[in-house]
Amino acid sequence: MSALYRHIAIEGNIGAGKTTLARLLSERIGARFVPEQFEDNAFLVPFYEDAKRYGLTVELSFLEERFRQVKEATKKEGLLVSDYLWEKSLVFAKVNLAGEELRLFERIYNIMADQLPVPDLVIYLHRHSDRLLGQINRRGREFEQKIPTEYLAKVAAGYRDFFASEKRMPVLWLNNDYGPDALAQAVFNLLGKKFEKGLHHIP
Protein backbone atom coordinates (compact mmCIF):
# COMPACT_ATOMS: atom_id res chain seq x y z
CA MET A 1 0.00 0.00 0.00
CA SER A 2 2.66 2.51 0.90
CA ALA A 3 4.56 1.64 -2.28
CA LEU A 4 1.50 2.46 -4.36
CA TYR A 5 0.62 5.85 -2.91
CA ARG A 6 3.30 7.87 -1.14
CA HIS A 7 1.52 11.21 -1.49
CA ILE A 8 -2.26 11.30 -1.07
CA ALA A 9 -4.28 14.50 -1.47
CA ILE A 10 -7.82 14.88 -0.15
CA GLU A 11 -10.10 17.28 -2.01
CA GLY A 12 -13.70 18.43 -1.90
CA ASN A 13 -15.97 21.43 -1.66
CA ILE A 14 -16.07 23.76 1.35
CA GLY A 15 -17.32 21.70 4.30
CA ALA A 16 -16.88 18.30 2.63
CA GLY A 17 -14.79 16.82 5.45
CA LYS A 18 -11.33 17.03 3.88
CA THR A 19 -9.32 17.92 6.98
CA THR A 20 -10.98 15.34 9.23
CA LEU A 21 -10.38 12.56 6.71
CA ALA A 22 -6.80 13.62 6.02
CA ARG A 23 -5.97 13.67 9.72
CA LEU A 24 -7.58 10.28 10.42
CA LEU A 25 -6.01 8.69 7.36
CA SER A 26 -2.54 10.04 8.16
CA GLU A 27 -2.79 8.56 11.66
CA ARG A 28 -3.97 5.25 10.23
CA ILE A 29 -1.09 4.81 7.78
CA GLY A 30 1.62 6.62 9.75
CA ALA A 31 1.94 9.53 7.31
CA ARG A 32 2.76 13.20 7.77
CA PHE A 33 -0.39 15.32 7.78
CA VAL A 34 -0.16 18.56 5.79
CA PRO A 35 -3.15 20.87 6.38
CA GLU A 36 -3.96 23.90 4.27
CA GLN A 37 -3.02 27.11 6.10
CA PHE A 38 -6.10 29.05 5.01
CA GLU A 39 -6.47 30.94 8.30
CA ASP A 40 -3.15 32.70 7.62
CA ASN A 41 -4.55 34.31 4.47
CA ALA A 42 -5.02 38.01 5.30
CA PHE A 43 -7.34 38.48 2.29
CA LEU A 44 -9.83 35.71 3.10
CA VAL A 45 -12.20 37.60 5.40
CA PRO A 46 -12.16 40.73 3.16
CA PHE A 47 -12.90 38.44 0.18
CA TYR A 48 -16.09 37.14 1.76
CA GLU A 49 -17.13 40.74 2.41
CA ASP A 50 -16.29 42.00 -1.11
CA ALA A 51 -15.52 39.15 -3.51
CA LYS A 52 -15.16 41.32 -6.60
CA ARG A 53 -12.59 43.63 -5.03
CA TYR A 54 -10.48 40.98 -3.30
CA GLY A 55 -10.91 38.01 -5.66
CA LEU A 56 -7.55 38.33 -7.42
CA THR A 57 -5.54 39.06 -4.27
CA VAL A 58 -7.06 36.17 -2.32
CA GLU A 59 -6.49 33.72 -5.16
CA LEU A 60 -2.89 34.79 -5.81
CA SER A 61 -2.06 34.66 -2.11
CA PHE A 62 -3.54 31.16 -1.82
CA LEU A 63 -1.65 30.08 -4.93
CA GLU A 64 1.69 31.23 -3.50
CA GLU A 65 1.07 29.78 -0.02
CA ARG A 66 -0.05 26.38 -1.34
CA PHE A 67 2.84 26.26 -3.79
CA ARG A 68 5.40 26.98 -1.07
CA GLN A 69 3.87 24.47 1.34
CA VAL A 70 3.58 21.61 -1.17
CA LYS A 71 7.07 22.19 -2.54
CA GLU A 72 8.55 22.02 0.96
CA ALA A 73 6.45 19.03 2.05
CA THR A 74 7.31 16.92 -0.98
CA LYS A 75 11.05 17.37 -0.44
CA LYS A 76 10.88 15.15 2.63
CA GLU A 77 10.86 11.37 2.62
CA GLY A 78 7.97 9.24 3.83
CA LEU A 79 4.21 9.06 3.41
CA LEU A 80 2.30 12.30 3.04
CA VAL A 81 -1.41 13.10 3.32
CA SER A 82 -2.56 16.64 2.55
CA ASP A 83 -6.08 18.02 2.95
CA TYR A 84 -5.91 19.83 -0.37
CA LEU A 85 -4.66 19.56 -3.93
CA TRP A 86 -2.52 22.45 -5.14
CA GLU A 87 -4.48 22.56 -8.37
CA LYS A 88 -7.58 23.61 -6.44
CA SER A 89 -6.24 27.14 -6.92
CA LEU A 90 -7.22 26.97 -10.58
CA VAL A 91 -10.67 25.59 -9.76
CA PHE A 92 -11.45 28.46 -7.37
CA ALA A 93 -9.88 31.08 -9.63
CA LYS A 94 -12.27 30.09 -12.42
CA VAL A 95 -15.17 30.55 -10.01
CA ASN A 96 -14.02 33.84 -8.49
CA LEU A 97 -12.27 35.61 -11.38
CA ALA A 98 -13.07 36.59 -14.94
CA GLY A 99 -11.62 38.47 -17.89
CA GLU A 100 -8.11 39.89 -17.62
CA GLU A 101 -7.81 38.95 -13.94
CA LEU A 102 -8.43 35.30 -14.71
CA ARG A 103 -6.03 35.35 -17.65
CA LEU A 104 -3.32 36.90 -15.45
CA PHE A 105 -3.90 34.24 -12.80
CA GLU A 106 -3.72 31.44 -15.36
CA ARG A 107 -0.42 32.73 -16.74
CA ILE A 108 1.14 32.75 -13.26
CA TYR A 109 -0.40 29.37 -12.43
CA ASN A 110 1.02 27.76 -15.58
CA ILE A 111 4.54 29.02 -14.80
CA MET A 112 4.37 27.46 -11.32
CA ALA A 113 2.56 24.23 -12.20
CA ASP A 114 5.53 22.43 -13.78
CA GLN A 115 7.59 22.92 -10.63
CA LEU A 116 5.47 20.68 -8.40
CA PRO A 117 5.05 16.90 -8.43
CA VAL A 118 1.49 15.63 -8.65
CA PRO A 119 0.13 13.36 -5.88
CA ASP A 120 0.10 9.59 -6.35
CA LEU A 121 -3.61 9.56 -5.50
CA VAL A 122 -6.42 12.10 -5.04
CA ILE A 123 -9.54 11.37 -2.99
CA TYR A 124 -12.41 13.71 -3.90
CA LEU A 125 -15.27 13.94 -1.39
CA HIS A 126 -18.58 14.86 -2.98
CA ARG A 127 -21.39 16.16 -0.79
CA HIS A 128 -24.71 17.79 -1.68
CA SER A 129 -25.02 21.48 -0.92
CA ASP A 130 -27.43 21.08 1.99
CA ARG A 131 -24.98 18.82 3.82
CA LEU A 132 -22.13 21.20 3.04
CA LEU A 133 -24.08 24.11 4.51
CA GLY A 134 -24.88 22.06 7.58
CA GLN A 135 -21.22 21.29 8.17
CA ILE A 136 -20.21 24.91 7.51
CA ASN A 137 -22.77 26.04 10.10
CA ARG A 138 -21.65 23.46 12.68
CA ARG A 139 -17.99 24.35 12.55
CA GLY A 140 -18.86 27.97 13.16
CA ARG A 141 -16.30 29.96 11.19
CA GLU A 142 -17.90 33.39 11.15
CA PHE A 143 -16.60 34.43 7.73
CA GLU A 144 -18.16 31.30 6.12
CA GLN A 145 -21.67 31.67 7.49
CA LYS A 146 -23.01 33.71 4.56
CA ILE A 147 -21.74 31.42 1.79
CA PRO A 148 -24.72 30.96 -0.59
CA THR A 149 -25.79 27.62 -2.03
CA GLU A 150 -25.16 29.00 -5.52
CA TYR A 151 -21.49 29.54 -4.73
CA LEU A 152 -21.07 25.97 -3.49
CA ALA A 153 -22.76 24.73 -6.68
CA LYS A 154 -20.29 26.70 -8.82
CA VAL A 155 -17.35 25.26 -6.90
CA ALA A 156 -18.74 21.73 -7.30
CA ALA A 157 -19.15 22.28 -11.04
CA GLY A 158 -15.57 23.57 -11.21
CA TYR A 159 -14.25 20.41 -9.61
CA ARG A 160 -16.34 18.22 -11.93
CA ASP A 161 -14.92 19.99 -14.98
CA PHE A 162 -11.35 19.84 -13.69
CA PHE A 163 -11.34 16.16 -12.76
CA ALA A 164 -13.22 15.10 -15.91
CA SER A 165 -10.12 15.91 -17.95
CA GLU A 166 -7.47 15.00 -15.35
CA LYS A 167 -5.07 12.38 -16.74
CA ARG A 168 -1.91 12.90 -14.65
CA MET A 169 -3.01 11.07 -11.50
CA PRO A 170 -5.75 8.70 -10.30
CA VAL A 171 -8.73 10.51 -8.78
CA LEU A 172 -11.27 8.58 -6.69
CA TRP A 173 -14.64 10.35 -6.56
CA LEU A 174 -16.54 9.35 -3.40
CA ASN A 175 -20.01 10.40 -2.35
CA ASN A 176 -19.32 11.35 1.26
CA ASP A 177 -22.36 10.03 3.09
CA TYR A 178 -20.20 8.30 5.71
CA GLY A 179 -19.37 9.30 9.25
CA PRO A 180 -15.71 10.31 9.77
CA ASP A 181 -14.43 6.95 11.03
CA ALA A 182 -16.37 4.92 8.46
CA LEU A 183 -15.10 7.19 5.68
CA ALA A 184 -11.51 6.79 6.84
CA GLN A 185 -11.94 3.01 6.88
CA ALA A 186 -13.49 3.01 3.41
CA VAL A 187 -10.62 5.06 2.01
CA PHE A 188 -8.05 2.92 3.83
CA ASN A 189 -9.54 -0.16 2.14
CA LEU A 190 -9.11 1.47 -1.26
CA LEU A 191 -5.41 2.13 -0.73
CA GLY A 192 -4.54 -1.51 -1.34
CA LYS A 193 -5.84 -1.30 -4.91
CA LYS A 194 -3.96 0.08 -7.87
CA PHE A 195 -5.90 2.67 -9.87
CA GLU A 196 -4.96 3.91 -13.31
CA LYS A 197 -4.57 7.64 -13.93
CA GLY A 198 -7.83 9.46 -14.52
CA LEU A 199 -11.21 9.75 -12.80
CA HIS A 200 -12.81 6.80 -11.01
CA HIS A 201 -16.31 7.01 -9.51
CA ILE A 202 -16.39 4.82 -6.41
CA PRO A 203 -19.83 3.39 -5.53
Catalytic residues: 83
- Cα 136 to Cα 3: distance, rounded to the nearest angstrom: 35
Q: Angle at the Cα of 68 (from 60 to 106), degrees rounded to 5? A: 35
Given a contact cutoff of 8 angstroms between Cβ atoms, the answer to whether 168 and 116 are in contact is: no
Q: Angle at the Cα of 166 (from 163 to 168), degrees rounded to 5? A: 140
Burial 60-88 (b: 16+ CB within 10 A, else e): bbbbebbbebbeeebeeeebbbbbbbbbb
Helix (H, G, I), strand (E, B) or coil at 98: coil
- Cα 38 to Cα 109: distance, rounded to the nearest angstrom: 18
Residues with Cβ within 8 Å of 132's Cβ and at least 6 positions away in sequence, in order, are 13, 14, 15, 16, 152
| Cross-strand partners of 82 | 9, 34
